[in-house]
Amino acid sequence: MTPETGIFSPGAPIVEEGQQPTKLYRIVSGWVICRNTLLDGRTQVVSILVPGDTIGAKGLLTGSASDLVEAHQATCLQSISHARVLGLAAQDFNVAMWLLWYANQEHLRSDKWLTLLGQGNAIEKIAITLLDIYWRLSRAGLVGDGAVRVPLTQSIIGEHVGLTLPHVCRTLGILRERGGVDIRYGGVEIVDPNALRASAADLADFWEG
Amino acid sequence: MTPETGIFSPGAPIVEEGQQPTKLYRIVSGWVICRNTLLDGRTQVVSILVPGDTIGAKGLLTGSASDLVEAHQATCLQSISHARVLGLAAQDFNVAMWLLWYANQEHLRSDKWLTLLGQGNAIEKIAITLLDIYWRLSRAGLVGDGAVRVPLTQSIIGEHVGLTLPHVCRTLGILRERGGVDIRYGGVEIVDPNALRASAADLADFWEG
DNA sequence: CGGACTCTTGAGACTAATCAAACGTCGTGG
DNA sequence: CCACGACGTTTGATTAGTCTCAAGAGTCCG
């Protein structure tokens, strides 16, 4: 594999929009954010990546990156060049199948998000966003006993689910009253996933089912 | 390739939700709709497929279908079993790479839809939905000189973009006033793509860029 | 002709956006 | 140690956009 390792500071771009991507990354530690931006400034956060996730699989064959990928905190990444990945895939069918499997998983995820953005109200959108992150951190073994810190500003959460910052604030206030979260400067703490789940039961069922 | 051919009547299920899918399909003629449904009845139309599109690539390796796929009109499909596709991919690296490329394209599409649903208003959502279909029909060589018939009910359009049926109706009314579309029983006719584009310029730029 | 489905329209309620200001928190430099 | 500035959160008042509920009219098919 001979992967290389690199550190990115908060706010540092990992892949620029429209640029020719040449590497595949795996997050060792830190948080990474993928955005699409419109000419008039509207911004959609397409995905929020946590340790263990892969960056740039989408651009492996398409030749140009569609979104801007940024380190959101100090982030440690392993990288492998596209050429090497494709070489490995050509030699070993299992590698090719892993790539295909991963692409399918990503696609499944996108469809779930479509359903959330299309059908959910503000409370559901934010509750599921936090639950989704909680579940992924959990699978990565990063959830301990206490509250789980999610270092995302309300502005970023809003860009992820298509809500304005003040409305995110008010909605988080409701989720706090219900015991699901605590709100901190620069982030949110998930106190009780069950309380979040209760605020978005039907979508949570769909998410897991 | 030895594909088989089959005809599906309007409303006939092609793949059932949660079922084990065994085949990959290619649409020869007709329209196909993929939906996700929540327990409380809310429904998201995840994608609308036209001739030339592939069905079921997402379930090739994941083992279970995540959405309900239905013929929306009389539809003619070619099918190949998953086993055969994977067999071909194992023999010919190009086949494996085509599958991967296609999965990446689908993923890119999903991300565009995310941006549309997260950032667009009703007019933009519907204008882009119609433009997207127009562009895809165009690429498939199915656009002639006159108006382009899109046989989707307003209800389906609403489920695709997360708007209620009455609001879709009113919004289509605005697009009609602007000369973009004509409204027919059971469908819409795209009269002037440029008028639609003008109603959603920033998102259209993003869509094509 | 009847029935099922689709489109249209209206009034009122509600959700979320907008605009704006104040307040907290943190890092920095005097 | 304090003062400052940048950034993030909170709150309020108002407006815009969309939903809801409901009824009526159009279209197609048997």
A45 → chain B, closest CA residue: B115
B112 → chain A, closest CA residue: A36
Burial degree of B39 (CB within 10 A; 0-12, 13-18, 19+) = exposed
Q: What is the mean pLDDT of chain B?
A: 94
Closest CA to B128 of B70, B25, B41, B48: B48
Whole-angstrom CA distances from B136 to A18, B49, B52, B141 are 22, 9, 9, 9
Most confident of A81-85, A133-137, B4-8: A133-137
pLDDT category at A2 given cuts 50, 70, 90 is: low
Q: What per-residue string of b and e applies to B98-128 under the rule 16 or more CB within 10 Å gives b? A: ebbebbbbbbbbbbbbbbbbbbbebbbbbbb
Distance D7 C1' – A1 CA (angstroms): 41
Q: How far apart are CA A37 and CA A129, in angstroms?
A: 20
Contact A44/B118, CB-based, under 8 Å?
A: yes
**CB B36 within 7 Å, strand C:** no
Q: How far apart are CA B185 and CA B149, in angstroms?
A: 11
Output phi, psi for B14, to 5 deg: -100, -45
**Which of A16, A47, A68, A100 has the highest number of chain B CBs within 10 A, making it the mutation to test binding with B?**
A100
Indicate the range of A114-118, A134-138, A150-154, B11-15 predicted with least confidence.
B11-15
Asked whether A64 and A20 are in contact (CB, 8 A), the reply is yes
pLDDT for A189: 98
Taking only the tens place, the pLDDT of each residue in B10-53 is 999 998 877 788 899 999 999 999 999 999 999 999 999 999 99
- pLDDT at residue B1 greater than cutoff 90: no
Q: For residues A107-128, give the mean pLDDT.
A: 97
Taking only the tens place, the pLDDT of each residue in B148-179 is 999 999 999 999 999 999 999 999 999 999 99
pLDDT for A1: 53
Beta bridge partners of B149: B189
Beta bridge partners of A75: A8
pLDDT for A63: 76
Distance D11 C1' – A175 CA (angstroms): 17
Q: How far apart are CA A74 and CA A48, in angstroms?
A: 15
Q: For residues A14-31, give the mean pLDDT.
A: 89
- A125 CB neighbour count, 10 Å cutoff: 25
Distance D13 C1' – A166 CA (angstroms): 14
Between B201-208 and B93-119, two packed helices, what is the crossing angle to 10 degrees? Answer: 170
Is the pTM value of this prediction over 0.85? yes
Taking only the tens place, the pLDDT of each residue in A58-115 is 888 887 778 899 999 999 999 999 999 999 999 999 999 999 999 999 999 999 999 9
Can you read off the two tokens belonging to residue B146?
């006159």
Contact B100/A99, CB-based, under 8 Å?
A: yes
Contact B39/A206, CB-based, under 8 Å?
A: yes
pLDDT for B19: 78
Burial degree of A189 (CB within 10 A; 0-12, 13-18, 19+) = middle
Indicate the range of A15-29, A81-95, B138-152 predicted with least confidence.
A15-29
Closest CA to B49 of B34, B65, B36, B32: B32
